[in-house]
Amino acid sequence: MDPARWKQLDSLLQSVLERPAGNREAFLQEICAGDEALEQELRSLVELDREAGPFLNHPAIDVAAVDLARGETGPTPDGADPLVG
């Protein structure tokens, strides 16, 4: 995908995600204005965002900091360091 198309998709995706879920359908149709490829790609990205849930809402460093503060950073049962990988 060329950078200009990705920039367009990213901008439109952010606009879609800012809307309440109930308003997204009409907004998607409006901004895509018959461009089926664009609409399909945006729908796919919206679905991926929904499936990811809150997983991507917090940077990994923030999650690690909370675990460190709680003392939850000891080795896992298999002996692995939970902050590596």
Give residue-wise pLDDT tens across range 2-30: 888 889 899 999 999 999 989 999 999 99
Q: How many CB atoms lie within 10 A of CB 16?
A: 19
**pTM of full prediction above 0.85:** no
Maximum separation of any 2 CA atoms in the chain, in Å: 54
Integer Cα distance of 64 and 70 in angstroms: 10
pLDDT tens readout for residues 37-82: 999 999 999 998 888 776 666 677 777 777 777 765 555 666 666 5
The token duo for 45 is 């990205």
Ranges of each domain in the chain? 3-70
CB 27 within 8 A of CB 38: no
